[in-house]
Amino acid sequence: MPELPEVETVVRDLRPMLIGKRLAAIRRSKHQLRTKWSNAWEPRLIGSRIDAIRRRGKWILIDLQPQGLFVVHLGMTGQLTVTPCATPLENHVHLVCDLDAGAEQLRFRDIRRFGSATYHDDETAWNSAHAEDLGPEPFDLTALAFRQSLSRTDRCVKAVLLDQSVVAGVGNIYADESLFAARINPHRLGSDLSSGEAELIRRAIVRVLTRAIKYRGSSIRNYVGGSGLKGKFQNEFSVYGRTGEPCRRCQTKIERVRLAGRSTHYCPNCQKV
């Protein structure tokens, strides 16, 4: 599933291609995405000008003028790209928005259809409709707030990092990579971590995400940025997806276990309990 670095890359790619453009027409496939499309949204979307595009957690927020918010979640296999109209449609394209005079289109492709595209009158309306409370962005997360979130729970630290109400945007890949960078075992309970260990994790999250954004995220299966280019951070993984391979630090074999319902990768030597 695309996480913060992938979504941030899509937003940065699309920003210069979308801002100032108008949504001239919208066409949908016969298949529904995760959230059912409402025909009532189309009169509000068509004719709107794109004023800004930004990210919140793993969500893409497109601000419209004179009013409205177009919100996209990539789900597991979603791709949001600007494409010349003359380019043939690929399979699994579920939403096509003509831009301005029609030379280009904003296309949403999603093979597994776990993504979504919705309209809301404003961000307050989206927050009200959003089922998942979003915590602070990793770059805004304070040491005190993170320590308190850890100290109040007996969940394993891997589960805490996946909790979007604690920190928004971190998913399975970057939780594993951040814990390795901090040398913290993913089995450790949040309440058992010291203030110093909590700060190591918080700083590692920021460091890993910043580096992943620099590499345009991780293209493991279907992910591409808004320009259609793949990411390269998958070539930099220390533990994720490297089960049985030697640790880049100590040569111990990387192990995989299931924690918080997700496959979790770590080095048993560098990340001792």
Q: Which tens digits make up the pLDDT trace of 4-61? A: 999 999 999 999 999 999 999 999 999 999 999 999 999 999 999 999 999 999 999 9
Domains of the chain: 4-129 (3.20.190.10), 143-266 (1.10.8.50)
pLDDT tens track for 84-135: 999 999 999 999 999 998 899 999 999 999 999 999 999 999 988 876 789 9
Q: With 90 as the cut, is the pLDDT of residue 221 above it? A: no
The answer to whether 262 is a known catalytic residue is: yes
Which member of 112, 183, 211, 262 is catalytic?
262
Three-state SS string over the chain comes to CCCHHHHHHHHHHHHHHHCCCEEEEEEECCCCCCCCCCHHHHHHHCCCEEEEEEEECCEEEEEEECCCEEEEECCCCEEEEEEECCCCCCCCEEEEEEECCCCEEEEEEECCCCCEEEEECCHHHHHHHCCCCCCCCCCCCCHHHHHHHHHCCCCEHHHHHHCCCCCCCCCHHHHHHHHHHHCCCCCCEHHHCCHHHHHHHHHHHHHHHHHHHHCCCCCCCCCCCCCCCCCCHHHHCCCCCCCCCECCCCCCECEEEEECCEEEEECCCCCCC
pLDDT tens track for 140-153: 999 999 999 999 99
Q: With 70 as the cut, is the pLDDT of residue 210 above it? A: yes
The answer to whether 58 is a known catalytic residue is: yes
The answer to whether 202 is a known catalytic residue is: no
pLDDT at residue number 1 = 77
Q: Would the pTM count as exceeding 0.85?
A: yes
The answer to whether 30 is a known catalytic residue is: no
Which member of 2, 5, 138, 186 is catalytic?
2
Which member of 3, 8, 104, 177 is catalytic?
3
Which member of 55, 58, 107, 109 is catalytic?
58
